[in-house]
Structure formats: structure tokens, C-alpha cells
Amino acid sequence: MNQALSSDCFDSFEPVNRETITALGIDISEYRHRKTGASHYHISSDNPENVFMVALRTVPEDSTGVAHILEHTALCGSEKFPVRDPFFMMIRRSLNSFMNAMTSSDWTAYPFASSNRKDFDNLLQVYMDAVFFSRLHPLDFAQEGHRLEFAEADNPNSELVYKGVVFNEMKGAMSSINSRLWHTLCKYLFPSVTYHYNSGGDPEAIPDLSYEQLQEFYRTHYHPSNAIFMTFGDIPAAEHQARFEELALSRFELLEEHIAVPNEKRYHAPIRAEEAYPLPAEEDPANKTHIVMAWLMGKSTDLESQLEAQLLAGVLLDNSASPLLHALETTQLGTAPSPLCGLEDSMREMVLACGIEGGNTDSVEAVETLILDTLKKVAKDGVPQSDVEAVLHQLELQQREIGGDGYPYGLQLIMHAIGSATHRGNPADVLNLDPALETLHQKIQNPDYIPNLAKALLDNPHRVTLILRPDQQYQQRMEQAEKQRLSELKTELDDAQVEAILAQTKALQERQNLKEDESILPKIGLDDVPADIPVLEFDQTQFGELPVTRYAQGTNGLVYQQVLFQLPSLNDAEIELLPFYCRLLTELGLGEQNYLQVQSRQAQVCGGISAYSSMRGAINNEQELGAYLVLSSKALLRNASEQAQLMRKTLEQIRFTETERIVDVIKQISARRQSSITGNGHGLAMTAASAGMSPLARISQKNAGLEGIASLKQRVTTLENSDSVNELSTQLNALHEKLMKGSRSLLLVADAEHMTALSAELESLWQGFEGAETAGFESPELRETRRQFWVANTQVNFCAAAYPTVPSAHPDAPVLTVLSGYLRNGYLHRTIREQGGAYGGGASQDSNIAAFRFYSYRDPRLQDTLSDFSASIDWMLKTPVDEEALEQAILGVVSSIDKPGSPAGEAKQDFHNRLFGRNPEQRKQFRQRVLETTAEDLLRVTRNYLEGVTPSIAIVSNDAQASALKDWISAEGLEIKKV
């Protein structure tokens, strides 16, 4: 409800609107800066994790990546803080729980979060100055955006090459077929407005951007008149506004330029478009075409239109029982539904997309017919009322859940609202869904409501069918075009231009190596670190003989239940089956119900049920392994009993006889995991490099790593044989029977005021569920060096090196964790990112497997990066330890340890920590050892675990690199493997 506008704002602001959102326990207030017109939305909450974000409407008119490169360059020094890298420096000088910057298709945002008031103000000073008073140094533009260099930096007779962080980042991004698919689809769906272009930057267009164009874009877009401030937490709005005024706004007047995304023109008939994507020459192009159909829907700022679009998308695509997703999952025209299936509602106009991957170009008409016939059937017959109610139930559950385990909760709310604010809608509408959901509940009582929505979609002529087919020569032609362009540029260079390139290269190197005065930046010191970590309260009871652990947390009316089974020892074949088993456990039929009926029931009762294996190395011996099967679910309080019944039924009545469904699900898993490589290449490289370190490391590589992706790809081909499918069904059933013999326990998380009644309600439902005591997981010890070169479909490299170290209870584990931050801050960031041009690089200590790991992400280099890993060890031993840099590394570790999560997430994390021996006393001891780390400690662990040790190595690259570096790969003893 709207309340009387209050005067709780600073003098330079005026109140516009205020609304209480009871379901979320927040107030959202809108204010306007009187002089510039800047908007400020404040979400008032008693949450001490305060969040700030300033967003600018950024509307590029080409694919040079101007908004993205500006986002990077703006963070490279400002008027008040004229140092080269204040953003990354502040990461080291802060207790933040989140710091980043991001470029969307029509906005650029600079968010951070911190639970420490002094830290919050420190970060606010740096962010405000970076955004509104950035110095945009031309060398920073060259480093972050693009530049020309000679392949041999000081040799003008060598080839010209393009360098730049964003240039290489986008090469990596566009290696992802999903990214290429989305950007290509938008090019045709939006023929005239900003979404037609790649806001991140197309690597072929990025070199066209000039420094002067960057400056002009900054002048028009980075002005308070075009800014949206959003805050969350317990700091009053007026306090924020006083700081905004002091730090920036008082120096600006109104800018008359109005930046907005105009309405897109409409097609009068559907169109088809066909483009290609790179496929390695050795791969068969058959069954690798993406066919996607998409519609341009209504404006995202129209709440009614948005909710109707969400409702229709949910009815059609929410789960495997939804008619359109069912058709796409079961068709023989492709291997899996397109990853784009669903509604994109963050842009000015919404997009509904659906389709298949793993198809062929001759199936286009058949795919279109499949989709349109499915829609016609819904338009004619509708869908069961219970399925429509289930979609609204999912919307209600999503709205009420308090998140915060990935992003801070306040940032999740802000990110949900920023689209509406960008397009000058009302963000309160998208956060306060209760009134709109109530209206929808009334509308869906009309049996023609859903059919009419489907009919409107069918009648919408602004429809694009995109065919994205594989091309085995695409990559070669693309690389040749870049070489040709550079060759022509070099031919045209005169002496002055050659000297200018050489001078810029030298100046940039000098700038990157310059030791700058960080003292001008505000900081948090160790004295500001909280003395201790909070300990969550819980109690333990029993439902019959079933042990139950209960956490009373503020969950806003949601109930979280987890059933855990201790895993017995498994052989290699069973371990390889485990990921499929976990996924299929909640995807198949139960008892007399088939999987479609079960999927519908899950949507009606809860926010889905998931199963996963949880494994960790022992705190004092990485060769010992604790392992559990976890069945997890969340639900609204009113559905807690049905949630428990469905979870128990899942475990007791699962049947692995729906072989067609098994094949479909495994094909979907394979498709998703193959497409994940370019987004998580550094993680996969580290997993591969570490695979010989411990039993857990080996299992991670076999199941979740590159080895698992490759074997899964092979398994899919064997499933064409019905005997293989039947054998798999038998194996899955045998594994299930084996796992169900393990000892069991239950985790319950809910609001304190509901816990007693809830426990009484659930106790009878879990009676008789206890299992027998069983021996834990055992696996042979493993400690060996591995060196591998993995060939994948990527334009950039991912490098990793791993060294054996110690598990978490060892007193050196906290020191090694600090060392990883010290090396990243002091050496690796500069050499790998700034000088090498990779999007990221660093090191980490993984105490679960007792390994210290170096990594690079979206890296144009390969051998030089591996050399940088080794050189960082020499640098550590030969360069005196900087006490301030040591303090910064300690702060970074403590910040990650103390990072708050959601109420339910913190309870689950505490429970699982205790389950694996990581009780609060052990965690406090680890944290205290971090705080006490000395320079001598860093040098000692470097000598003991890294100096003179031959590391395990893993590289993820492409076939062209494997061929070009064949001799080096052989000399290094690297085994070539293909994903």
C-alpha cells in the first residue's frame, strides 16, 4: 500500500513514492534528486548487510563494446583516487561481501555490499568517484579495451597482434555457443534498437572503437541525470543521500539529453534467419544445429503484461510435464530443448523463446510445426487448472524466499528491480507481487484465459526462427580474417605509427609495473575485523528412530527439508553412475505415476526436489573421504506435509523403468555440460590438474570434470542401443537399492514460531524411515602428478597448475589460503591479467583435496602463463614481504569466511560443516590462524610446498593450439585428451 510521503530524505532530494511490501518485510521508497533528476530507490530492511548500486542507462548503437570497455576503464583511476587500479585495490582493503561491475544490454551497474559501516563508506567513496569522476586514462583504455602490439613487444619486424582484457574476454564469451545463439537471435528480433548489437562487444568490432568515442559515451551516459541509485539495508535513506550529494551530486546540473530504449518496430510476418557457429574440424557436424523460435512480447514495465508472459511461459515450459517443454524434450528432431527456452523479461520488451539443440538444418519446418501445433493445442484445449495454479504457486514461492547464498539478498532484490527502474517503470510493482498474483488467481478461473494467451502468441507476427548451424571452417576463416586485417594494418604503418605502437607498449609496461601509493585509498584494518564468528543454534530430536536436526531461522514462511544417506563404498562403475542417478532420482515416475504426473505434483507442492552427492576430504587427511546422498526440497509452510510425503515417496517408490525418459535426461545433461566449458574453463582446468591429489579429486574429475564430460558424450552414443539402455536401467536400480541401505538423518529449517507445530505435523510422516548403520565411504589412496592438454571448442585458453599441500586441520592450511591471495594481489593479477590480457587469473588453496592451485581464465596466452605461475613462486621467495599487502590478503580470506548467506543457506552450511567434522571450534581456529599469519609463515609454506616441486598441469585450449604446440606438448610430457 502507498503511504503518506515522508520527509525522511536529505534536503537535495524529494520523496516520490513509498510502499510497504509485507510479504518481504521491507519498505521501498523512491526519491528524486532535485537538481539533476537522479533517481534513488531505497529498500529499508533491518538487515545489516547494506547494499549499494549505481546504474547508468547505457544504450550502445554498435557492437564495439563501448559500454563494456567503459565499465572496465572507469574503474582504473579517478579524480580523488588517481591510482591505476582502485577497484582491485579496494577488493584487498575491504571486508565486502560483494564487489563487482557489470554491463547488461541496456544498463551498466556498479554494486557492492558490506556488513561493516566503515567499509561501506570506504567503498562508496571509491565507487562514486570512479563513476562520476573517472579519469579514463588512454593507457587504461588500451589495457582494458584493445590495443595493437607487436608479437615480440620491442621488435617491429614481428607480426601485429590485438591485445586487451575485454577483447579476450569477449573472445571467450563468444566461444560459448549459448552466448552466440542469444546475441544472434537478438540481432534479428531487434532490427533497429540497442539489443540488435552485442553490448559486451563483438571481437571483430571491438578494434573499431576509438578512445574519443569512449570519452563521448562517458560524457553523455555517466551523468547523474541518467543515473539510478539503489540501496538496501539498515542505513537510512537520508544518510545515503547526504553522502551522494557530498561525494558527487553537488557538482552537477541537469543534463537535457534523454537516454532511453525506443519502441522496436514490428514485423508484419514471421522471418527465418540462418547463421553459423564454429565447430572444430575433427567433429562431425551432424545433429549439432540449434533451431530456436522466439517472439517479441510486451513491455517489461507493464506489470500485467509481464505477469501474463511469466504465467504463459511457466504453463508452457516450467517442467517436463508442461506441454511445450514435454514436446521439445521428447522429439527426435533434436537431442535436448534449447538452453534459451523461457522468458527474458529484463529488457524493455520481453522475449519468449523455445526450440531445440542437436538438430539438423533439414528439420526446421518440422520443429516449427511441432512448436506451433503444441501452441494450437493449448489454444484449443487449454491445460489442467492444477498446472496453472502450480505456476502461480512457483511465482509466490520465488517471491517469498529470502536468498543471499550467491548474491547478497539485498542485491538480489535490486537486480530484480533494476530492469523496471531502467525503463522508468515502478520497481515496487515487480517486488510486491501479492496484489498482482491475487488478480491472476481470479483471472485463471476463466477457462479461456490460458487459451487466449496462447492464441495471442500464435497471432503475434513478430516472430523469428533462427537456425544456427555448425561450420568446420568458421574458426579458421575468422582467424584468417583477423590476421589479414592486422597484416594490412602493418603494411600501412609509417615510421611514426610504428614508433607510437612501440612507445605505447613500453609506457603500458612501465605503468603496469609501477608501484603506486595505495595509501590515498580508504581501508579497513585488522582492528576492524569482528573478533569472532556467530554460532548458529540448533537442536536435535528424533522422528521415531530417524535423527532430526532442526534450525530455527527466519525463512519468511518457507520450510526446507533435507534427507541424508551415508554413502557406502562404491566401485568405479557406481561412482560414474552417481551423477546420473542423482539427477534421475527426481525426474522419473513413482509407483503407479509416470514422470509427467510426478513433475506436475512437484510443481504444485514445492519448489522442486533435487538430489546430489556431498563429498569432502577429512579435515586431517585428504585421503579419507566422507560422502552422503542428499535429497533436498523447499516449500511454503502450508505445503510442508505434502512436501515430506513427496520426498519420502521419491525415495521409496522411484522406478528406473522409463527408459525413454532416462535417455532424454542424459542427453540434456550432456548438452548442458558441454556448453558449460567456456564459462567454467578455469574451474575445469583446476579440477583436471588436481585429479591425482586425492580420492575426492579423482571423483570430481571423473564425474564433474572434463573427463566426466568426455565420458558422458561417449555414453550418449551408446544409448542408441536399447540393450545398453536396459542395462543402464538395471544398474541404476541396483545402485538405488544399495544406497537406500545407508544410515539416514533429516535436516529441518523453518521459522522459529512454526517449528514446534511443524515438527509435530511432520513426525508421523517420517516414522519408520530409519536405516541401518553402515560403514562409510572408502577409496584407495591417491597422490600422483598429472599433466594434460584438453582440446575443446574454445577461442581462448584456460591454464592450471596444482601442487600437493595439506588438509584444513593442518596449521599450514590457513597460511596457504592467505598465500593464494598474496600471490594474486602482488604478482598474478598484474602479469596474467594486466600484462597478459587474460580476463582473470590467480591461485587458491583447496584444503578438501590438499592442493594449491594456480589458474587463468579466458587467456590469450598459454606457455607464458604457466611460466608466470612458476615465476610467482620465485617472486615470493626473492621479494621482501610487504606487511600491508599481507594484511590485505588476510582481509580477503576473512571476508570470504565471514560472508553472510541466506537464513536457510547458513543453516544448511552449518549442518553440513558439522557433518564433515568442521565444527565451529575448528572453523574459529582456522580463522584465527589466518589472522595470525606472518611474513615468515608465507615464506615457509612457499618453500615447503611450492619451491622446486613439479606441478600437475592442465590446459583447456583448441585443436589449432594443440597442433601448433605439438613439440612443446611432447617435451612437457602433456597427454592430449579431447572433450
Q: Does the structure show a pLDDT above 60 at 17?
A: yes
Distance separating alpha carbons of residues 868 and 858, to the nearest angstrom = 15
Average of per-residue pLDDT values in the chain: 95
The CA-atom distances, in angstroms, between 208 and each of 145, 151, 179 are: 11, 20, 21
Q: Which residues contact 257 (CB under 8 A, 6 or more apart)?
A: 220, 225, 226
Domain 271-408+418-471 annotated CATH 3.30.830.10 = yes
Q: What is the pLDDT of residue 407?
A: 86
- Residue with the bigger pLDDT between 516 and 413: it is 413
Q: Which residues pair with 842 in a beta bridge?
A: 855
Summarised one tens digit per residue, pLDDT across range 41-68 is: 999 999 999 999 999 999 999 999 999 9
CB 524 within 8 A of CB 118: yes
Q: What is the pLDDT of residue 119?
A: 96
Give the residue among 72, 61, 149, 137 at the shortest CA–CA distance from 105.
61
Summarised one tens digit per residue, pLDDT across range 575-618 is: 999 999 999 999 999 999 999 999 999 999 999 899 999 999 99
Summarised one tens digit per residue, pLDDT across range 672-698 is: 999 889 899 999 999 999 999 999 999
Q: What is the pLDDT of residue 195?
A: 97
- The one-letter code for the residue type at 343 is L
Summarised one tens digit per residue, pLDDT across range 789-803 is: 999 999 999 999 999
Cα 45 to chain center, whole Å?
26
The CA-atom distances, in angstroms, between 226 and each of 38, 55, 80, 505, 569 are: 7, 9, 22, 35, 60
Q: Does the structure show a pLDDT above 50 at 567?
A: yes
Distance separating alpha carbons of residues 428 and 275, to the nearest angstrom = 40
Q: What is the pLDDT of residue 515?
A: 85
Nearest 5°: CA angle at 269, between 265 and 270? 95
Domains in the chain: boundaries? 13-260+493-520, 271-408+418-471, 539-766, 787-978
The CA-atom distances, in angstroms, between 38 and each of 71, 229, 501 are: 19, 8, 41
Q: Which CATH architecture has domain 787-978?
A: 2-Layer Sandwich (3.30)
Q: Which of 8-12, 660-664, 718-722, 925-929 has the lowest mean pLDDT?
A: 718-722
- The one-letter code for the residue type at 471 is D
**Helix (H) or strand (E) run with residue 601 in it:** helix 595-605
Summarised one tens digit per residue, pLDDT across range 377-417 is: 999 999 999 999 999 999 999 989 998 888 899 999 999 99
Q: Does the structure show a pLDDT above 90 at 820?
A: yes
For the chain, how are helix, strand and coil distributed in percent, rounded to 5? 50, 20, 30
Nine-digit cell string for 545: 528412530
What is the 8-class DSSP label of residue 48? S
Average pLDDT (707-731) is 92
Summarised one tens digit per residue, pLDDT across range 467-496 is: 999 999 999 999 999 999 999 999 999 999
Q: Does the structure show a pLDDT above 90 at 517?
A: no
Summarised one tens digit per residue, pLDDT across range 134-163 is: 999 999 999 999 999 999 988 999 999 999
What is the 8-class DSSP label of residue 539? E
**Banded model confidence at residue 851, pLDDT cuts 50, 70, 90:** very high
Q: What is the pLDDT of residue 153?
A: 84
Residues in the chain: 979
Q: Does the structure show a pLDDT above 70 at 4?
A: no
Give the residue among 792, 677, 662 at the shortest CA–CA distance from 715.
662
Average pLDDT (548-572) is 96
Question: Which value, to the nearest 10 degrees, does the dihedral of the CA atoms of residues 430, 434, 439, 440 take?
Answer: 70
**Banded model confidence at residue 282, pLDDT cuts 50, 70, 90:** confident
Q: What is the pLDDT of residue 7?
A: 58
Distance separating alpha carbons of residues 314 and 345, to the nearest angstrom = 13
Q: Which of 619-633, 707-721, 815-829 has the lowest mean pLDDT?
A: 707-721
Summarised one tens digit per residue, pLDDT across range 111-135 is: 999 999 999 999 999 999 999 999 9
Q: Does the structure show a pLDDT above 60 at 524?
A: yes
CB 911 within 8 A of CB 551: yes
**For the chain, give me the number of helices (H) and strands (E)?**
35, 28
What pairing do the DSSP bridges indicate for beta strands 952-957 and 621-636? unpaired
Q: What is the pLDDT of residue 5?
A: 42
Q: Which CATH architecture has domain 539-766?
A: 2-Layer Sandwich (3.30)
Average pLDDT (364-370) is 98
Domains 271-408+418-471 and 539-766 share a fold: yes
Q: Which residues contact 571 (CB under 8 A, 6 or more apart)?
A: none
Summarised one tens digit per residue, pLDDT across range 161-202 is: 999 999 999 999 998 999 999 999 999 999 999 999 999 999
* Residue 402: CB atoms within 10 Å: 20
Q: Does the structure show a pLDDT above 90 at 908?
A: yes
Q: What is the pLDDT of residue 710?
A: 94
Distance separating alpha carbons of residues 39 and 33, to the nearest angstrom = 6
Distance separating alpha carbons of residues 894 and 533, to the nearest angstrom = 10
For the question of whether the overall pTM of this predicted structure is more than 0.75, the answer is yes
Q: Does the structure show a pLDDT above 70 at 1?
A: no
Distance separating alpha carbons of residues 869 and 856, to the nearest angstrom = 9
Give the residue among 432, 453, 457, 433 at the shortest CA–CA distance from 444.
453
Distance separating alpha carbons of residues 239 and 249, to the nearest angstrom = 14
SS3 77: coil
Domain 13-260+493-520 falls in which CATH fold? Cytochrome Bc1 Complex; Chain A, domain 1 (3.30.830)
Q: What is the pLDDT of residue 774?
A: 76
**Banded model confidence at residue 531, pLDDT cuts 50, 70, 90:** confident
**Banded model confidence at residue 368, pLDDT cuts 50, 70, 90:** very high
Contacts 24+ apart (CB under 8 A), 183-189: 184/273, 184/275, 184/466, 184/468, 185/292, 185/294, 185/340, 185/351, 185/353, 185/464, 185/466, 186/105, 186/351, 188/271, 188/273, 188/464, 188/466, 189/294, 189/296, 189/351, 189/462, 189/464
Q: What is the pLDDT of residue 3?
A: 40
From its phi and psi, is residue 303 left (phi > 0), alpha (psi between -120 and 50) or beta?
alpha
